[in-house]
Structure 1
Amino acid sequence: MSRLNTDDLHILLIEPSAMQRKIIMQQLAQEQVTEVDAVATQAEALALLDRHHPDLVISALYYDDGSADQLLKALRSSETQNDIPFMLISSERRRSQLEFFKQSGAIAILPKPFSHTHLVAALNATLDLLDQNELDLTSLDIDSVRTLVVDDSRLARRHIMRVLENLGIRHLIEAEDGREAIAALQRETVDLVVTDYNMPEVNGAELAEFIRQSPLYSHLPIMMVTSEAQDAHLQAISQSGVDALADKPFEPETVKQLLIQLLNRS
């Protein structure tokens, strides 16, 4: 199958400011993205979504009639639209205001104003998510890799699993937190653990410590996907025996390269 390009993308842009819409569309055009439906309100966006399935939704944080979190919740609860990649563009910096988007599998959160580098990275992440791009492993058949995905957010699990499936990993086992993950490990054979950090009951660092201290599971490669990679928790994460760390939101290509390193040496 041929590789998708940016000029293949059809984008829905929701931005209440006419000037900001013009600037964003100009920057998209510089990356050969010309199929853009630009609207100002949530109502207009939902009406377009009823008629068309875009490849990517790019949204401001607030509109006159709603907000990006309301729109994303509507998308994620829809049977036909829950797989549409979502990108937020916002001047908001507070973690509490952005955490929902990280946990809901946003493909990117761009600052306002954003740079050319930010935009290119986000568009490439979208292409990677839409494309089938299987891992090329030297020591394992990717179809045989069994992966345990651990995250208390159903939306985050769904996004992680979609990325893994696009990379050719088909055998996926879900757990909502570290306690469920430990139970799953005791009844299932797995080759890889991909876990969130911040979870109730047993968090990601505690799960990693359990795996490393167990003679049955200590060999398992562990990738931690967290929105706290730049936080004070980073030291606890690094000391828990994690092999690789990926940010939320993460870029599929980054995950691909980390998995190649982990699985080729396992």
Structure 2
Amino acid sequence: MTSLKIEDLSILLVEPSSTQLKVIIKHLKEEGIASIEGADSGNSALMILSDYKPDLIISSMYLPDMTAAEMIVKIKANEELNDVPFMLISSETRFSALDPIRQAGVVAILPKPFDHDNLRRALRSTIEFIEPEELELDNYAIEALRVLVVDDSSMARKHIVRVLNNMGITQITTANDGKAAAELFQATGEAFDLIVTDYNMPEMDGRELISHIRNDRQNTFIPILMVTSESNETRLDQVQQAGVSAICDKPFEPQNVKEILFRVLNG
């Protein structure tokens, strides 16, 4: 049982609009959060972070000196800060703008204006990320579960691995695209209990990897979880037909992932 509560969170809020800053602070205070530090630019946020490590960073997409995507790259490059959960609040809807944020590993992306219930859920996801509860399975000893994580984004791989580590899964092998994963799968004698893969990758994408495992390798039993920001229904239907066990959206929310893993691994 987690001891950290939503009202205990310390938050760095990066928002250039004073009006929007007040609106978001009002919502956070309604959740009982009192420790909120404000910044109006990316550089001012980085300066604050050099002296103060919050429990959560909440940011707008477009800042006077950089985008949230550029800021999160700088944060993830800092070993002392790369484990701080990051939440985006933005009216941006373009896939090309949001995908780098999703790939970086964030706890939530909320629209602007956002629904207060969605904010509360995102804050709960933050708590789960900071103080995770171990996944309990009927058919596997969690510490013995062997997982292959496949993603061409190093930040996404690190985020997924950390979420899985937090659940008690430690035997994790990574690959940076489907082709490398297929080679690992063959070289290890298919010694994995679960594959977690992205969709959009060079060399061999997620759908092709699933098809290779199900058809070329004739392995129909290993659970395959696809974690993707893909929204094209036709392409997702093709993934379903290829034999994926479950599809999970990016951001990779711990509680959602835990429920999916419990279903596919106990099924």
Tell me the TM-score normalised to structure 2 length.
Answer: 0.95
Partner secondary structure for residue 232 of structure 1: helix
After superposition, what is the alpha-carbon deviation per residue over 1:173-194, rounded to whole angstroms, capped at 9, x for unaligned?
Answer: 0001111101111223110000
The equivalent residue for 1:24 is 24
The equivalent residue for 1:172 is 172
Q: Are 1:133 and 1:166, in contact at CA under 8 Å, matched by a contact in 2?
A: yes
Report the CA distance between 1:229 and its aligned residue: 4.0
The equivalent residue for 1:221 is 223
Report the CA distance between 1:65 and its aligned residue: 2.4
The equivalent residue for 1:158 is 158
Aligned residues between the structures = 265
Q: Are 1:229 and 1:247, in contact at CA under 8 Å, matched by a contact in 2?
A: no
The equivalent residue for 1:246 is 248
For 2:199 and 2:72, how far apart are their aligned partners in 1? Answer: 23
The equivalent residue for 1:96 is 96
Report the CA distance between 1:67 and its aligned residue: 2.1
Partner secondary structure for residue 103 of structure 1: helix
Report the CA distance between 1:119 and its aligned residue: 0.5
The equivalent residue for 1:46 is 46
For 1:228 and 1:18, how far apart are their aligned partners in 2? Answer: 34
Cα RMSD, aligned residues only: 1.4
After superposition, what is the alpha-carbon deviation per residue over 1:85-118, rounded to whole angstroms, capped at 9, x for unaligned?
Answer: 1111111111111111011112111111000122
For 2:82 and 2:33, how far apart are their aligned partners in 1? Answer: 23
Stretch moving more, 175-184 or 228-237: 228-237
The equivalent residue for 2:4 is 4
Report the CA distance between 1:238 and its aligned residue: 1.0
The equivalent residue for 1:233 is 235
For 2:2 and 2:81, how far apart are their aligned partners in 1? Answer: 24
Partner secondary structure for residue 225 of structure 1: strand
Tell me the TM-score normalised to structure 1 length.
Answer: 0.96
Report the CA distance between 1:38 and its aligned residue: 1.0
Q: Are 2:139 and 2:266, in contact at CA under 8 Å, matched by a contact in 1?
A: yes
Identity, % of aligned pairs?
Answer: 45
For 1:259 and 1:65, how far apart are their aligned partners in 2? Answer: 40
1:66 paired to 2:77: no
After superposition, what is the alpha-carbon deviation per residue over 1:40-66, rounded to whole angstroms, capped at 9, x for unaligned?
Answer: 122221111001111111001122222
Report the CA distance between 1:216 and its aligned residue: 6.1
